[in-house]
A = this chain, B = another copy of it.
Amino acid sequence: MTKEILKESTFAQDIVTIIRSGYDREQLVDRLKDYHEKDIAQSLELLTNEERKSLYDSLDPEWISNIFSYIEEPEEYIQELGIGRLAEVINEMDSDDAVDLLEDVDEKVKNQLRPILDEDLKADIRLINSYDDDEIGSLITNNYISISRNLTIRQAMHELVQQAGEKDNISTLYVVDDEGRFCGAIDLKDLIIAREHDELDDIIIDSYPYLIDHEKISECIEDIKDYAEDSLPVLNGEKKIIGILTAQDVIEAVDDEMGDDYAKLAGLTAEEDLKETTFESMKKRMPWLIILLFLGMGVSTVVGAFEGVVAVLPIVMCFQSLILDMAGNVGTQSLAVTIRVLMDENLTGKEKMSLVVKEMRVGFGNGLILGALSLIFLGVYIGVFKGFTMGKAFMISGCVGVSLLVAMVISSLVGTLVPMFFHKIKVDPAVASGPLITTVNDLVAVITYYGLAWLLLIQCMQIV
């Protein structure tokens, strides 16, 4: 009986019901085989300690290892397993799942485990840990099938059947030469439909895409997505396969990359976790805040130069925040668009120019509309509520409107050029652009607005 994925808790609850139905081990195993390991993983939270321990005894270590790979925070369950059983379970895990699990295991427990874990697995774990978090090598798994290029079709099928007992990722088989170097891949479907006396060479794709262990994930990710394969081989310096990257790893990597960018746009230096301490969160945000503070102080000194204007015509200061806010928002919009475009496409100089021009046009168009709206509504407001004649009121609101237009056009320009500049000098535009754009926009807006007010209203129009 299949159930709707959104009611996933129903699956987990069914499993709990089964576990509590008092079946003997054989019947229990038979029934649980009809469920996805993720659902069994989810049911664990709903069971008591005792029930879980009884379940661990009923299922074989390989099955438990698959279930555990779906659990995000296994610390609790790890303790329930006991060292011997834990070692058995870990020995059945893929290297990447084992690495993830061991991150949540105490040093003390690790010391007890070390002597009883498989040597091969330990070597694979050490391999993954030898890479930085931003390198491709840190994402690999040892869960793949590789065969020699010298086999016949029949021997290859035999290898497949042999290795499929332990390996899940079978839709692509990787081929190595006599020295163990990567020399191509075989689509499983091609092997399945091949006739017995075909040459293996005929179905090997020699020029199959691959990744290098030390490459940065962020640099490869667009290519990886484009190839749209379920898995891609990862090679070391000697061109030997050290593991594969699966589509699931790509999904996680894409999620992380975007989450990172999202955080940067808001001025956070990395994605924040609920569990971070207050101090850690403060440390993450402080850099940008301090930079903005001092840049803001700089803007304040510039505003200070126009103190005279405000002393004479205090009403103009009412609309400063309006103009700065609108300019800031327009700049952020252009920034967001430009960053996304820079990320996805490889633009020529000509296309970049046209993006800048287009952004300025959008800024101009929106600025015109908003400038006109400000002129009308603020003019009415000033005239009616602030005791100026309608003529003078609209002159003041006209000042606001024009400054708004100018500020928004400059904002669009800056919001596009600054990230492009940072992208060119290989600095992450998402991180670096924010404070620079805010400051430039503030300066332009303030100088335009108060400058215009001084010029037009005080000098020319003698409004005061």
Chain A residues near B (Cβ < 8 Å): 1-6, 8, 11, 14, 33-36, 38-39, 70, 160-161, 164-165, 167-168, 170-171, 182-184, 187-189, 192-193, 202, 204-212, 215, 219-220, 223-228, 230, 232, 239, 247-248, 250-252, 254-255, 258-259, 261-263, 265-268, 271-272, 274, 278-279, 281-282, 285-286, 288-290, 292-294, 296-297, 299-301, 303-304, 307-308, 310-311, 314-315, 317-322, 324-326, 328-330, 332-333, 335-337, 340-341, 345, 347, 351, 355, 358, 361-362, 365-366, 369-370, 373-374, 377-378, 381, 385-386, 438, 442, 446
Contacts and interface: CB of A to CB of B under 8 A. Distances in A.
A442 B325 contact: yes
A34 B201 CA distance: 10
State the copy count for this chain: 2
Contacts of A224: 5
Contacts of A292: 325-326, 329
A192 B207 contact: no
B262 A293 contact: no
Contacts of A442: 321, 325
Given A292-B329, A337-B268, A297 B377 contact: yes
A373 B290 contact: yes
A187 B188 CA distance: 14
Contact of A310 (B207, B285, B310): B310
Contacts of A1: 206-207
B362 A296 contact: no
A258 B6 CA distance: 21
Closest 6 CB pairs of A and B: A266-B336, A258-B258, A247-B247, A296-B322, A34-B206, A311-B314
Contacts of A341: 272, 274
Contact of A386 (B184, B274, B304): B304
Contact of A36 (B39, B160, B205, B386): B205
A321 B318 contact: no
Contacts of A308: 314
A272 B412 CA distance: 15
Given A247-B248, A300-B319, A310-B314, A272 B230 contact: no
A429 to B, nearest CB: 13
B285 A333 contact: yes
A168 B254 CA distance: 24
A6 to B, nearest CB: 7
A239 B286 CA distance: 53
A358 B266 contact: no
B38 A6 contact: no
Given A2-B206, A165-B193, A265-B265, 6 more contacts: A251-B254, A263-B337, A266-B335, A300-B319, A325-B328, A329-B438
29 contacts: A2-B184, A5-B211, A6-B223, A35-B207, A39-B209, A161-B193, A168-B187, A225-B252, A228-B248, A261-B262, A263-B340, A268-B337, A285-B333, A286-B366, A289-B329, A292-B329, A293-B322, A293-B373, A297-B381, A299-B321, A300-B322, A307-B314, A307-B315, A308-B314, A310-B314, A311-B311, A311-B314, A321-B321, A325-B438
Contacts of A232: 5
Nearest to A299: B321
B340 A209 contact: no
A60 B318 CA distance: 71
B263 A266 contact: no
A207 B326 contact: no
Nearest to A212: B4
A321 B300 contact: yes
